[in-house]
Amino acid sequence: MKKGRYGIHGGQYIPETLMNAVNELEEAYNYYKNDEQFNEELTRLLNEYAGRPSRLYYAERMSEDLGGAKIYLKREDLNHTGAHKINNVLGQVLLAKKMGKARVIAETGAGQHGVATATAAALMGMECEVFMGEEDTKRQALNVYRMRLLGAQVHAVTTGTATLKDAVSETMREWTRRIEDTHYVLGSCMGPHPFPEIVRDFQAVISKEIKEQLMEKEGKLPDAVLACVGGGSNAIGAFYHFIEDESVRLIGCEAAGRGVNTAETAATIATGKLGIFHGMKSYFCQDEFGQIAPVYSISAGLDYPGIGPEHAALYDRGRAEYVAVTDDEAVDAFEYLARTEGIIPAIESAHAVAYARKLAPQMAKDQIVVINISGRGDKDCAAIARYRGEDIYE
């Protein structure tokens, strides 16, 4: 099989200008991933700084309310900076530092990855610039301020639909402008090889912990693992160590926006087709001539027209399932988890909670569902209030 392929997906569809940079990254990663000192440093950062391992919490009230499977919540929302993004970022920024880079750049949708990157850059003394769609800088104004507070420069991207895909494009353009001293901290398991592999490996700590924690609490594997999917980094992290365990259903929850039968959707598996974009072959929302579709979701973090190549391959071979969850269902789930468990999830993660509300009641009481709560919802409160007609602003 060719380098960086997941079935037919993946690859390195990028300008020649970047090829030596990704080759250099691949070489460095292959060295450091087996380097004892690197792994010790990273583990120390994850544990002492980010607060790992994150809790696997038995959601008793939710389980009782739904009347089916036992529900566990993997609390990635409790990580430092409030989301799973920090797992990948600490790994990549540490790697960049080892590679002698002085500057990191990143795209961000909801702002969580941008905040995580700005945080790691502050911690490790690196220059940081974040590209964020102008639309998202409005939806997530608080995160823009957080990034600035952490010393990062935030660029509002006005091209295209001014959302996540345009932020990715602009960060790629910036990388071709300045490569020598700069590492692109890609935030999801997407883009050209080796990014999908690097991001997956750094996020795989999620499923490694779930497996150990559940074994300790229940003495068995879960029956289903649910996670929201935009590019798919928290999902691939939550799935990875269960891929070989065929009894575990792996369910990715895509953002259907206003519905998969409308144009206002970001559900790639449900509505996309095979294509080549942002460095990879995978599924993309696009028109018949291959023009990338202007996708929509209430969740800035899932508002992306593609999906990581490993998810596309897991879908092709029927190992993982992908379901679509609408804005309405996600907002209901956001409120539901707040009231039932006293946990306000990110609106992204609420997509997985929404599907669990449908799935768990159909399962037996001795079965187990794990929902990856990929982030916390503080950043979304103002937007959800507005969605419900309350006129509040940060």
Residues marked as catalytic: 85, 107, 374
CA distance 33 to 200: 13
Q: Binding of other proteins at residue 3 (CB under 8 A)?
A: yes
Confirm or reject binding of residue 114 to other proteins (CB under 8 A): no
Told to check if 11 binds other proteins by CB under 8 A, we report yes
Judged by CB under 8 A, does residue 28 bind other proteins? no
In the numeric block, the tokens 């559940």 are attached to 214
Q: Which is nearer to other proteins, 149 or 276 (CB)?
A: 276
Least distance in angstroms from the C-beta of 54 to other proteins: 35
Looking at the Cβ atoms of 292 and 298, the one nearer to other proteins is 292
CA distance 232 to 235: 5
- For residues 209 and 117, the answer to whether their CB atoms sit within 8 Å is no
Q: How many angstroms from the chain centroid is the CA of residue 66? A: 27
Does residue 159 bind other proteins (CB under 8 A)? yes
Q: Are 130 and 151 in contact (CB under 8 A)?
A: no
Q: Does 14 bind other proteins (CB under 8 A)?
A: yes
Residue 67 burial (CB count, 10 A): 10
Does 15 sit near other proteins (CB under 8 A)?
yes
Nearest to 340 by CA among 28, 35, 61, 23: 61
Shortest distance, CB of residue 14 to other proteins, whole angstroms?
6
Q: How many CB atoms lie within 10 A of CB 387?
A: 16
Question: Which helix (H) or strand (E) element contains residue 275?
Answer: strand 273-277
Gap between the Cα atoms of 117 and 123, Å rounded = 10
* Residue 19 engages other proteins in binding (rule: CB under 8 A): yes
> Coil, helix or strand for 252?
strand
Residue 187 beta carbon to other proteins: minimum distance, rounded to whole angstroms: 17
**CB nearer other proteins, residue 143 or residue 169:** 169
**Interface with other proteins includes 13 (CB under 8 A)?**
yes
Residue closer to other proteins, measured from CB, 147 or 162: 162
- Tell which positions 265-294 bind other proteins, by CB under 8 A: 273-279, 284, 286, 288-292
- How far is it, in rounded angstroms, from Cα 355 to Cα 325? 7
By the rule CB under 8 A, 165 interacts with other proteins:
yes
Q: How many residues bind other proteins (CB under 8 A)?
A: 37
User: In the complex, what is the shortest distance from the CB of residue 270 to other proteins, in angstroms, rounded to a whole number?
Assistant: 18
Would you say 274 or 385 has its CB closer to other proteins? Answer: 274
Instruction: Give strand pairing partners of 9.
Output: 6
Q: Does 162 bind other proteins (CB under 8 A)?
A: no
> C-beta of 11: minimal distance to other proteins in Å?
6
Report, in Å, the least distance between residue 221 CB and other proteins. 38
368-373 sheet: strands from edge to edge: 56-58, 70-75, 368-373, 224-229, 249-257, 320-326
| Dihedrals phi, psi of 137, to nearest 5 degrees | -65, -25
Q: Which stretch binds other proteins (CB under 8 A): 29-37, 90-98, 160-168, 211-219?
A: 160-168
Residues at the contact surface with other proteins, assessed by CB under 8 A: 3, 11-21, 159-160, 165-166, 169, 172-173, 176-179, 273-279, 284, 286, 288-292
